[in-house]
Structure 1
Amino acid sequence: MKLELGDQSGRTAIITGANSGLGAQTATALADAGADVVLACRNTDKAAAVANRIGAKARVEKLDLADLQSVRDFADRIDGANLLINNAGVMALPLRRTADGFEMQFGTNHLGHFALTLLMLDKVSDRVVTLSSGMHSLGRLDFDDLNWENRRYRRWRAYGDSKLANLMFAKELARRLEASESSLVSVAAHPGYASTDLQGHTESLMDVVMAVGNSVAAQSAADGAMPTLYAATSPAVRTGGFYGPTKFGGMRGAPGPSSYREVADDEAQRTRLWQASEELVGITSPV
């Protein structure tokens, strides 16, 4: 599948988690279209290998979304960009905690990107693209225990929570930007079912099951990156939208508008998440 990105020369894109999978494919495609790309990654050695393949258009910057000090340091030293693509993520891990004590999936997938976006907001000129997932349908945010401190930990529910939070954040950011008359666009995207390294870290028999699924049912990482690229570059994209594959129940196919759970349109719930996220990361929103 080929997506026409247009000429991206003169533009800069920051892509979190660009050391493998969807992020690496996103960075490669944007660089091929002429953009300069910043690979914002925890594993800088793996990122350097990707940057070397891309060439002079790519550079690596250290960013650990599971450590708010790393997020602040990154935002302090990066001048700016046209695109911020919140791509990095972890999935279905055993219970672990970030450097700041957050449940690892919620802390990395949502809170790390929430903090990064707020800190970078006045440095991004065009679009913020936040990666959610069809698995957001599993999410049921418990505002009394967002970090799984008082409940029996359920890894897939925690992943669904983080992906629902990603979608709600992207939509609430869009609303706030529009209300402040900003031209910055905020959208969400999801890859459908794509074969990446994301699925191989459950440290359980599910790693084997998902490896089989990746080999027989999933689309390639390059195809899985198409919705992200569409969300980042297409003139048809509208702020607050959610974009993903349009065939086979949103699992594969050309990118376009995607269905999602109605709770993502509940402004009261989005505001509650936003306020809780501000308190957890200790950053006040500029919008």
Structure 2
Amino acid sequence: MTTAYYVHVTIDQGKNVMLLDSGCTQSAFPLKEFQKLLFQFGTQKISHQFIIADIDNAILLRLDFFENHHCLLDFQNAQLKIRDSAVRCCDSQGNLLKVNVQVRQDTVLPPRTERFSMARLSTKWVQGTACIEPADTVPGVLVATTVQDPDKQQVHLRLMNYTDREIRIPAGKIVAMCLAANLTRPAPTESASHGQLPEHLKTLVEESCQGFSPEEKPKVQALITEHQNAFSSSQYDFSKTNVIKHGIPLVPGAKPLKQRPYRHGTAQEAEIEKQGQSLIREGHGA
């Protein structure tokens, strides 16, 4: 589902929201004649000519408004930038699309480590399930993207320091953004829709059910069967990640070494060839 972007405005001292729609040319107001409106974004007053149209009760800010007032819609930060100021976007009910996530207390990350930390939302969140995304405000720190239900305006953060130095994050520092999550359930596989357990997961179910009661074991199997797409089907069924870019630090001025390839025995050569061909068949080699 596509997110609609609205902004808060004040018209005749009354609070309203306006729908941003740069795909059409003329801004519209739900009546039946032309009208020039004076309204306010935050502390900035703006006058604009609207066409009064037979539409639902939504005030539309369209391409003419964007061009006349030099506007820029910042999707990453959910902001409408007007001249030298910015207005945060909201939904049709006036709830902000994104709010800041701040660490609750001073946090120390030793080199090459990760930890979980509690954080708070800067504004009340009433939209249910949320996606926590990194704000890229602390150099050297990665924040994991997660889906959570903010409890008492709090969320859990997974922080990683990928540098060789200690990093300190002061309390109140904005490290992430909270935005509404539109969740969709993937279509179940044929085996999952029939409650069937694939062969490659039977051992996993047996090991996972150890220590559970006879009443609990069927629930564990049903859970694994429902989410079977999350598990690898073989040793060659793996994916990639772009969370961290791999790099090999080089010594300044160092030159490449010239040496012969390592020698292997007959049995080792055969095994190397076998595994290489297996990777090629599975699409992981060339």
Name the TM tier (shorter chain).
Answer: under 0.3
Richer in helix (by share): 1
Q: Which has the larger radius of gyration?
A: 2
Richer in strand (by share): 2
Q: Which has the higher contact order (CA 8 A, sep 6+)?
A: 1
